[in-house]
Structure 1
Amino acid sequence: MRKFFLLPFLLILFLAFDTVAQEKKPNIIFILADDLGYGDVGFNGQKLINTPHLDRLAREGMRFNQFYAGTAVCAPSRSSLMSGQHTGHTFIRGNLGVEPEGQYPIPDSVETLAEVLKQAGYQTGAFGKWGLGPVGSEGDPNKQGFDRFYGYNCQSLAHRYYPTHLWDNGEKVVLKENGNLEYNKQYAPDLIQTQALGFIETHKDQPFFLFLPYILPHAELLVPDDSIFQYYKGKFEEKPFKGFDYGQGAKSGGYASQQYPHATFAAMVARLDLYVGQIEEKLRQLGLDENTLIIFTSDNGPHKEGGADPVFFQSSGGFRGIKRDLYEGGIRVPFVAKWPKAIRAGEESEFTGTFWDIFPTFAELAGAKTSESIDGISFVNTLLGRGGQKKHQYLYWEFHEQGSKQAVRYGKWKGVRLNVKENERAPIELYDLTVDKEEKDDLAARHPEVVKEIATFMQQAHLDSPIFPWE
């Protein structure tokens, strides 16, 4: 008789425990800026552009000082993020366009971060720029774990801030007021932000993963003529940029001319900051802020396209290089994590992490398993202030443009190899980042034993790709 009554009681207790466990899963929001430099934000020293919402995010969360992007350009950096693999292993290793619209697709065989979180019970949405496969292909975001996608499928078309169309899952959303590129009234980032805020509202009662790959502040340099732009207009000396303007016969993926490139770039970063503030405010309104993990970062270093001036804004934060460089300025990115329920405010971390660590970290928080094929390690222990954080032996990057390049971070050491296409055993430059963050003093001749180890790591980490060979 006791067993008869005990079994239902245990069943109820188990169900109640399981419900509580589900409730404890954090919502996850990953905000990915586009071509935002380490030094473009106030919490990393930016003096000319106001980023109050991002600075507050850093004060109320944990700031990572040594976090790295997947690589130095858009698509492969995103592939690294989604696959949990570095660029010597991840499938997409370059910006390879396909017709009629999009980039070479990430295949079904790749298990993505979104798929793992969806299987763990999360509602998944992506709003912004995709760049990992055309609509209807294997790489379509709806086939890679996202329940909802809204934005630019093709990163080349994302060069235009007043495009002719966006995508809502597989439906083409024609922006009639932008028409044939003559009428520029529908600013795509604003439209995307509205949809992202709506996703939070729709899924407020269930755990969600919201991926926000914003296109700001990638070129072209263009922003609405509103109070944000007016605040910066006239503050800086300007050198007008002549580009491919909107109007009859305009290129769909060009960069528009800009009379005020400095003011416009500053306004674009400030608008990005405003979007982050709107996301946080929506969470507060819905009572979701305490148990939502927000991570903010950038896909690579700052650009100098379309009239952008990373030297003027010190966008690289004192590091050498910009986008497309494997020096620190091209791959070290701003990185903040905020989760009031679990992360102590005002913390700074020197954990040397990277995009392929995001996959196992989010999977652990969601209670999901990951495959052994990933290269990342979870940094949940760092986020929660616990001991026992596992560390990488080394980090590896490769870049398939400009003659092809490789780089390794190995403790305090940084090794960079250029012109790999011509010579896969080209000389390796060696820098001690503890005393030389600008990577000016090449120590290779003084430390041949370190160079030899780094050369071994480069050889081990790179697997040949028939679709993305060197260069």
Structure 2
Amino acid sequence: MVMMNRTSILFLGLLLCLSQGCQSGKDKEEKLAENKETRPPNIIFILADDLGYGDLSCYGQQRFESPNIDRLAAQGMLFTNHYAGTSVCSPSRASLMTGQHTGHVAIRDNRSLDPSAYGFREIEGQFPLADSILTLPEMMRERGYVTGAFGKWGLGGPDTEGAPNQQGFDEFYGYVCQSLAHNYYPDHLWHNQEKIPMPGNEEGAFGDYAPELMQRETLAFIEKNKGQPFFLFVPSPLPHAELIVPEHEMAPFEGHMSPGTPFNGVDSGPAFRQGGLASQDKPHLAFAAMVKVLDDQVGEIMAKVKELGIENNTLIIFTSDNGPHREGGGDPEYFDSNGGFKGIKRDLYEGGIRVPLIMSWPGRIAANTTNAHPSAFWDFMPSFAALAGAPVRDNWDGISMLPTMMGQENKQKKHPYLYWEYHGEAGKQAARMGDWKGVRTGIREGNRKIEIYNLKSDPGETTNLALEHPEILWKMDSIFSIAHTPSVEFKLGYLDE
């Protein structure tokens, strides 16, 4: 790329002016203003992995700071009632990509591919999204956006219809399989359909740290596409276990926090670099450092957008796919990662599904604002459709958040309820209706009882009010039946009989 200083740019501009008969500066300014008004905004969607509601200092984290993400929040709007698609990776991301909650979405659990069905000798990738499903990147591409994804996918392996390039992304770089994304020093990544070996990352050796490689490609995508509308999806694997980071990133936290209980993982053998979690002697330090790396990368994205002069026409969104984890030495209790809410990853209590959400769009979204509008992953599809001028689909469960984003809350439609399923363990359901929350666990064990909580008076979900409020119990039971559509592939329990 040829770099020009300010003097060179002015000189070239003068030559152009002379060659065109010195068109008036006023006409040029009017055309430039017209272009900015008619061009749809760039969208950068940053998705953290297993980052809890309380894992950012702008959401109350006390053990460490997240200055760049805090700055993003100060530039825009911080949401306090936003929810992931569900409490684990694949179905939560499927909800984001399709505009459907987990009672309707095609993928409802973390399930690896059956290699025999595709002729594979080895399993890589999860149950694939079908070609027939309209995805968020497909919608954006139809509206003239160039699309890119850099990070962890988890919605279909290579050579399946769920692969990123088959689901609307012009360019992909990263992990196709979320199980292999457990390893931050993998033996390979994928660039579109090409498997890229990682030299030096073989068994017993560390080479390139994958988040750094994916960040490099992310910044290059922004640079390359700065002159046209783009949709950039950045599903970072950070700070999902394994808990590992370059040593120098941990140094600032030495002596400032307990190192934590050492975790003994898989450091050799067949599982090494194939989904097994590496050992970590100082898991607290490693976790804090991983969030720092994530925060640094958000800062680099913000800086790149500003450097290229596209800041005022770029919407940056930051959120997380579910609540915090305990795997690999994770310690959500020490960090208060769920922000004081009940539950963690795999729970449908608030700590498992309520996540940070920050939106920044200078000049459009009011700076330094906080919003309590209840929203969820399935709201992004209609929100982006409104921004890009795409038609709304009848099978979407989401409601556009654009009025809230633009400060027009009197025009904001609201959900009659929000609904979640989790198919792991023995099956779970949850719904939020206003301030009321209903949770059912152990579905495949025959449990039909529903717990009822009032989130306004009891945000920690400590007191089950089912006996005191039979009318709310009845409404939740109705929602659980109505919102769940049986799936051939994913059986929740007696609701599918």
What is the TM-score normalised by the length of structure 1? 0.94
Structure 2 CA distance for aligned equivalents of residues 258 and 51 of structure 1: 23
Map 1:96-175 onto structure 2 (within 5 A): 96-98=111-113, 99=115, 100-175=123-198
Give SS of 1:290's match: helix
Q: 1:234 corresponds to which letter in structure 2?
A: G
Structure 2 CA distance for aligned equivalents of residues 433 and 85 of structure 1: 24
Deviations 1:250-298 (A, max 9, x none): 3511111101100000000111000000000000110011110011000
Whether the 8 Å CA contact 2:174–2:214 is kept in 1: the answer is: yes
Q: Show the counterpart of 1:7.
A: none
Structure 2 CA distance for aligned equivalents of residues 80 and 318 of structure 1: 25
Q: Which of 237, 247, 255 is residue 234 of structure 1 equivalent to?
A: 255
| 1:470 and 2:492 correspond | yes
Q: Show the counterpart of 2:7.
A: none
Kindly state the Cα deviation for residue 370 of structure 1 after the two structures are TM-superposed.
Answer: 2.6
Deviations 1:130-185 (A, max 9, x none): 0000112110111111000000000000000000000000000100121x222202
Structure 1 CA distance for aligned equivalents of residues 174 and 343 of structure 2: 30
Q: Show the counterpart of 1:343.
A: 365
Structure 2 CA distance for aligned equivalents of residues 203 and 164 of structure 1: 29
Q: Show the counterpart of 1:64.
A: 79
Structure 1 residue ranges without an equivalent (≥5): 1-15
Structure 1 CA distance for aligned equivalents of residues 486 and 349 of structure 2: 23
From the superposition, tell whether residues 193 and 108 of structure 1 become closer, same or farther in structure 2 (CA, over 3 Å).
Answer: same
Q: Show the counterpart of 1:391.
A: 414
Structure 2 CA distance for aligned equivalents of residues 187 and 411 of structure 1: 44
Give SS of 2:236's match: coil
Q: Show the counterpart of 1:78.
A: 93
Kindly state the Cα deviation for residue 53 of structure 1 after the two structures are TM-superposed.
Answer: 0.3
Q: Show the counterpart of 2:17.
A: none
Structure 1 CA distance for aligned equivalents of residues 77 and 273 of structure 2: 42
Map 1:425-464 onto structure 2 (within 5 A): 426-464=448-486
Whether the 8 Å CA contact 1:233–1:260 is kept in 2: the answer is: no
Structure 1 CA distance for aligned equivalents of residues 250 and 397 of structure 2: 42
Structure 1 CA distance for aligned equivalents of residues 33 and 247 of structure 2: 51
| 1:367 and 2:394 correspond | no
Structure 1 vs Structure 2: percent identity of aligned residues? 53
Kindly state the Cα deviation for residue 18 of structure 1 after the two structures are TM-superposed.
Answer: 12
Structure 1 CA distance for aligned equivalents of residues 463 and 317 of structure 2: 34
Structure 2 residue ranges without an equivalent (≥5): 1-30, 116-122
Structure 1 CA distance for aligned equivalents of residues 353 and 393 of structure 2: 26
Kindly state the Cα deviation for residue 46 of structure 1 after the two structures are TM-superposed.
Answer: 0.3
Kindly state the Cα deviation for residue 249 of structure 1 after the two structures are TM-superposed.
Answer: 6.6
Deviations 1:382-431 (A, max 9, x none): 000013100000000000011100000000000000111132x6110000
Kindly state the Cα deviation for residue 210 of structure 1 after the two structures are TM-superposed.
Answer: 0.3
Residues 136-145 or 19-28, more deviating: 19-28
Q: Show the counterpart of 1:313.
A: 335
Give SS of 2:438's match: strand
Q: Show the counterpart of 2:347.
A: 325
Structure 2 CA distance for aligned equivalents of residues 393 and 21 of structure 1: 37
Give SS of 1:464's match: coil
Give SS of 1:330's match: helix
Structure 1 CA distance for aligned equivalents of residues 148 and 255 of structure 2: 39
Structure 2 CA distance for aligned equivalents of residues 201 and 236 of structure 1: 38
Whether the 8 Å CA contact 1:162–1:181 is kept in 2: the answer is: no
Q: CA-atom RMSD, angstroms? A: 1.5
Map 1:199-218 onto structure 2 (within 5 A): 199-218=221-240
Q: 2:353 corresponds to which letter in structure 1?
A: I
Q: Show the counterpart of 1:51.
A: 66
Structure 2 CA distance for aligned equivalents of residues 246 and 152 of structure 1: 21
Q: 1:135 corresponds to which letter in structure 2?
A: P
Structure 1 CA distance for aligned equivalents of residues 207 and 311 of structure 2: 33
Structure 2 CA distance for aligned equivalents of residues 372 and 22 of structure 1: 29
Kindly state the Cα deviation for residue 22 of structure 1 after the two structures are TM-superposed.
Answer: 7.2
Instruction: Give 4+ residue runs of structure 1 displaced > 4 Å after superposition.
Output: 16-19, 246-249
Residues 213-222 or 242-251, more deviating: 242-251
Whether the 8 Å CA contact 2:174–2:189 is kept in 1: the answer is: yes
Q: Show the counterpart of 1:37.
A: 52
Q: Show the counterpart of 2:305.
A: 283
Q: Show the counterpart of 1:252.
A: 274
Give SS of 2:431's match: strand
